[in-house]
Structure 1
Amino acid sequence: MAFAAIHPEAGRIDATLPDLGRGLTWDQVHKTRPRVALRCPECGHGVHAKVSARKLRYFAHDPGRPTDCAWLNESLEHHLLKLELATAIRAADWHAELEVRAPDGTWRADVLASSHDGTQRVAWEAQLSPITNEDIQERTERYWAEGIGVCWVSPGGKAPWIGSVPSIRVQEPHDDQPWTVVDGPAAFHFEHGTWIVIDAPQLTAFIGWVLHEQTIVHRVRSRYRRIWYPTSEGYRRRNLIWTTSRHIDTETRHEAMRQRQEERKRQREKQERRAEQQRQAEAEARRIEEERQREVQRQEQERQRKIREAEMAVRWEEQQRQRAIEAEQARRRREAEERQRQEQARAAEEQRLWQEQREHQMAVQWWAELSHTQIQELQDAVAEPLWKKQATRAEFDTQGASADNAYGIAIYIRRRLHGILRPSPASLHRLPAVVPVFVRNAREAHDLINTGNIEPARVVHFNLPDHEQMSLM
C-alpha cells in the first residue's frame, strides 16, 4: 500500500489530495481503460489505484512486486497514522506531501510539511517498528543537515527514544476523542521547579503549534530532566521536550534562583565554619589559661607545705628525731606516688589523644571513599522514602560528620534525631543508644557489623554501588 505514485505524464501524484496534487481527478487513474501506467516511487514497479473498504484511496503493487520495497512492509496502522499527520498539516495551512525521498536517497520522509513559500520544511515520521537510539539519532541528523526539522511520532506504549530526539507519543481515537498527544509537550512550573507534561492536546492542534513555531524543541537542563507525568504520577527522564519560549524562560529564571540560593547557602556555611573555628580557638585559650592557673596554685601549695614541714622539723628535731625520719619517708613515698599518678594520668591522656587521632584518621579515610555525588546519592536514598511514604522531610546536620556522632552525619526529623548517616567503623562506641545508622550498601553494613560494636538490626543499607556511576545526559 502507498499513497503516492508516478504518473507517466503528470509526474508524482498523491492519493490523499482531491486533485491528486496535479490537477487530476481520481476517476482519471482508477479503473480506467486502458489502464494508466503508474509506477511505485520507491521501487519503480507498476502500481494501480484502489479504494479500501473504509473508502481509503491508495496505490497497490501489481503482481510480481519486488520483496524489498520499503512500502510493502508498512502496516495499515502506519499508513493511517501518516494520513492523519498529512491531514493535520494541511489543516494548519501548510503543504503536506507523503512518502518523499531525498534526491540523493539519504532520507525518506513519511510526511513532509512545507510552508507556502518553501523556506521551511518539517518531516513527520510515523515510527511504529523498533529502532535503536543510535539509528534514530543518525536519521534525525540527516534531516538537520538538509535544514529540515523533524518530529518522530509513536502510537505505541513503549518508545525508548522518546525524549532523545524531537518526538511525541500519540494515542489513537477512542470514544469521542480524536488523536491526542500523550507524551512530548511539557510546561515548566516555577513553584514546583520541574517540567510537567501537559494534558493530552489534540494532535491536529499540536502540529499547528509546531508548524507556526508556537511550540519548539527544547533541550532540558540536566538538573530538570526528570519530567513529572500527572496521569501516572511518576517521573521519566527526557532530554528533549516540546514547549514554548515562555516556559523556557521560566526554567532559566528558576535555575538562576537556585544558583543564588546555593551561593547564599555556601556563604552561610562558610560563616558558620569561621564562627566554629573562632569558638574552638577561644575554648583552647581558656583551657590553657586554666591549666596555667592550676599549676601556679599547685606550686604555691607545695611551697607552703615545705615551709610547714621545715618549721615542724626545727621544733621537734631533738625530741622527735625518729618521727621526723618517718615523716620524711612518708613524704618521699607520697612524692613517688604523686609522680606515679602524674605519669599514669599523662599516659592515659596520651592514650586518649592517640585514640582520638586514630579515630579521626580512620574517619577521614572512611569518608574519602565517597565523592560529593555519592554522599548526595546516599542522602537522597534516606530522604526519598520518608518523603514519599510519610511526607516527612529529612534534615542532615549541616556541620557534616562529627566525633559526637561517631564521625557520621546526624539525621533529624522535625528536630528529633532520626539516625546517623554512615558512622565510622572505628568510632561506633560513640553512637547514641539504639539510634539506627544508614550506609550505602551491604559491604559497608558488613564493615560496621564486623566491629562487634553495633547490633545488625540497627544497620540500614541501600543497594548503592561502591563506585560513582556516570549518568546519562
Structure 2
Amino acid sequence: MAFTAIHPEHGRIDATRSDLGCGLDWSQVHRVRPRINLTCPECEWGVHAKHSSRGLRFFAHNAKRPAECQLSNESVEHHLLKLELATAIRAAGWYAELEVRADDGTWRADVLASSADGTRRMAWEAQLSAITAEELQERTARYADADIAVCWVSPRAEVPWLSSAPAVRVAVPSKDAHVWTVADGLAKFMPKLGSWVRVSDIDLATFARWALQEQVTPHTILPRYRRVRLRPDGSLSRRASCWASAKSTAAESRHEQMRSRQDEQKKRRQERERVEQERKLLEEKARNAEEERLRAIEREAEAEKARERLQVQMAQWAAERKERLAQAEEQRRIEEERARKAEQARLAQERREREAAERWWAELSGEQWQGLLAAIGELSVQEKVGKTYPVKQGVDAEYAFGVPIMARRGLYGIVRPSPDSVKNWNVYGRQRIFVRNQREADLFTDQGVDPALVIHFDLPDFEQLNLC
C-alpha cells in the first residue's frame, strides 16, 4: 500500500490530492482499460489504483511484489497517520508530498512539507516501529545537512526517545472524536511554577500550523528545568527538549536569569557567611588557644607545686626509711644480742645438764648397768616384744642423756634419762622410762612424768665411781 506512484507520462502522482498533483482525475488512473503502467517510487514494481470501502484512495502493488519494499510493508495505521499529516500541512497552506526520497538516498520523508515560496522545507516522520535515540538523532542530522527541518510523530503510548529529537506523541482519534491530537512533546513555561508544563489535547492540524509557521520550535530545555510537569499539579518527567513558543523560551530565559541572579546572590551570601564563619572559627580558635595557654600555665604551676610536694614527701619518706632502717638495725642488733645470750644460756644449760648427767651416771657401776639391762630384757620377754638392745654405746643427749633401747617393733624405752634434763626434754612423749628403783622413779614423777611410764625394778643403790 502506498499513496504515491510514478505515472509513465505525468511522473509522480499523489492519491491524497484531488488532482493527483498533476492535473489528473482519479478516474483517469482507477480501473481504466487498458491499465496504465504505474510503478512504485520505492521498489519500481508495478502498482494499480484502488480505494477502500470508506473511500480512501491508494496504490496497491501488483502480484509478486518484492518483500523488501518499505512502502508495501508499512501498516495501515502508518499510512493513515501520514495521510493525516499531509492533510494538516495542506490546511496550513503548505505543499505536502508523501513518500519523498532524496536524490542521493540519504533520507526518505513520510511527508515532506514545502512553503509556498519554496524557501523552506520540513519533513514529518510517522514513527511507529521501534527505533533507538541514536538512530533517530542520526537521521535528524541527515535532514539538517539537507537544510530540512523535521518533526517525528508517534502514536505509541510509550515513546522513550521523545526528547531526543524534535518529536511529539499523538493520540489516535476516539470513536466520539475524529481529530488527531498532540498528547506530549509540546510544553509551555510557567514562571510562577518555575517549570515547564506539558501542553496536551492540541489538535494535530493546529500543531502542524504552529510548527510550520515557527510559532513553536524545537527547544533544548535548560538543565535546571528538565523536570517537566505533565500537569500543573501533577507528576514530573525528565525531558531534555520540547516544542515551545518563543514566548515560553523567552520566559525560561528570563527565569533562568532571575535564578542565576538568585544563585549569584546566594553564592555571595554563602561566601559572606563562609567568611564570617571562618572569621568566627579563627576567633574561636585563637580564644581556645589562649585559654589552652592559660590552662597550660596553670597546669605547669600545679605541676611545679606537685613536684615540690613530691620532693617534700620524698624527703619525708627518705627520713622515715632511714628511721625504719635504723630501727631495724637496732632491732636486729637486739635480736642478735638476745640470740647470743639465749645461745649462751642454752650452752650453759646444756653444760649444766651434761655435768648433771655425768654425776647421774657416775652413780651407776658397770655391774649395776648390766643388771639393769638384764632386768629390762626379762621384762621384754614377759611382754613378748622380742630381744631388746641399746641403740648405741653411751648416753644420747637427744634422749635427755639416757640410753634408748630398741625392740623388734621400734623404740622400747629410755634407760635412766637425766632427771635434770627431763623437764626440758620434748622427745620422750609417751615413751617409757626405765630406772633402777623407786628412789630414781620419784625423781621423774615429781617433775610431772606420768607414773605409768616410769618402770623401776627395785634394784639396790650402790656407790658408783664411773659413768657408763
> Do they superpose with TM above 0.5?
yes
Question: 1:434 maps to which residue?
Answer: none
CA deviations 1:65-94 (Å, max 9, x no partner) are 111111110011111111000000010010
Structure 2 residue 195 is the aligned partner of structure 1 residue 211: no
Corresponding position: 1:329 with 2:327? no
Superposition deviation, residue 137 in structure 1: 1.3
The residue aligned with 1:136 is 136
Alignment correspondent of 1:47? 47
* 8 Å contact from structure 2 (residues 189, 197) kept in 1: yes
C-alpha RMSD over aligned residues: 3.1
Q: Which amino acid aligns with 1:66?
A: P
**Partners in 1 of 2:281 and 2:138 — Cα distance?**
61
Match of 1:238 in 2: 239
| Larger RCO (CA within 8 A; separation ≥ 6) | 2
Amino acid corresponding to residue 91 of structure 1 in structure 2:
A
Runs of 4+ deviating beyond 4 Å: 284-304, 325-328
Cα offset for 1:280?
Answer: 3.4
CA contact (8 A) 2:197 2:232 kept: no
Structure 2 CA distance for aligned equivalents of residues 39 and 248 of structure 1: 47
Q: Distance in 2 between matches of 1:231 and 1:267?
A: 33
- 5+ residue gaps, structure 2, are 321-468
Q: Which amino acid aligns with 1:271?
A: R
The amino acid of 1:57's aligned partner reads: R
Query: Would the aligned equivalents of 2:48 and 2:60 in 1 still touch at CA under 8 Å?
Result: yes
Q: Which has the larger radius of gyration?
A: 2
Find the residue that maps to 1:84 and give its secondary structure.
helix
Q: Which residue of 2 aligns with 1:227?
A: 228
Give the superposition deviation at 1:164: 0.3
State how far apart, in whole Å, the 2-side matches of 1:214 and 1:150 are.
15
| Partner secondary structure for residue 168 of structure 2 | strand
Determine the C-alpha separation between the residues in 2 that align with 1:164 and 1:5: 33
Return the TM-score normalized by structure 2.
0.62
Amino acid at match of 1:73: N
After TM superposition, the structure 1 = structure 2 runs for residues 179-194 of structure 1, keeping only pairs within 5 Å, are 179-194=180-195
Work out whether residues 5 and 14 of structure 2, in 8 Å CA contact, stay in contact via their aligned partners in 1: yes
Percent of matched pairs sharing the same residue: 53
Cα deviations by residue, 1:292-342 (Å, 9 ceiling, x for unpaired):
6678889999999xxxx9xxxxxxxxxxxxxxx999739x99xxxxxxxxx
Deviation at 1:222, TM superposition (A): 2.0
Amino acid at match of 1:272: E
* Amino acid corresponding to residue 111 of structure 2 in structure 1: V
Query: Which amino acid is 1:32 matched to?
Result: V
Q: What is the correspondence of 1:404-419 to structure 2 with a 5 Å cutoff?
A: none
Give the partner amino acid of 2:274: R
Please show how residues 144-293 of structure 1 align to structure 2 within 5 Å.
144-174=144-174, 175-176=176-177, 178-230=179-231, 233-287=234-288
Deviation at 1:44, TM superposition (A): 1.0
Aligned partner of 1:393 in structure 2 is none
User: 1:235: Cα distance to partner?
Assistant: 2.2
- SS where residue 85 of structure 2 aligns? helix
> 1:255 aligns to what SS in structure 2?
helix
Counterpart of 2:74 in structure 1 is: 74
* 1:38 corresponds to: 38
The change in CA–CA distance for 1:191 and 1:65 in structure 2 (over 3 A counts) is: same
Cα–Cα, structure 1 residues 298 and 136, in superposed 2: closer, same or farther, change >3 Å? closer
CA contact (8 A) 2:184 2:200 kept: no
- The worse-fitting range, judged by mean Cα deviation, of 211-220 and 237-246 is 237-246
Greater shift in the superposed pair: 155-164 or 263-272: 263-272
Aligned length: 317
Distance 2:66 2:76 in 1: 19
Gap change, CA 1:231 and 1:50, over 3 Å in 2? farther
Q: Kindly tell me: are residues 253 and 83 of structure 1, through their superposed partners in 2, closer, same or farther at Cα, counting changes over 3 Å?
A: same
Amino acid at match of 1:38: L
**Paired position in structure 1 for 2:62:** 62
- C-alpha deviations, 1:370-402, integer Å up to 9, x for none? xxxxxxxxxxxxxxxxxxxxxxxxxxxxxxxxx
Aligned residue for 1:27, secondary structure, equals helix
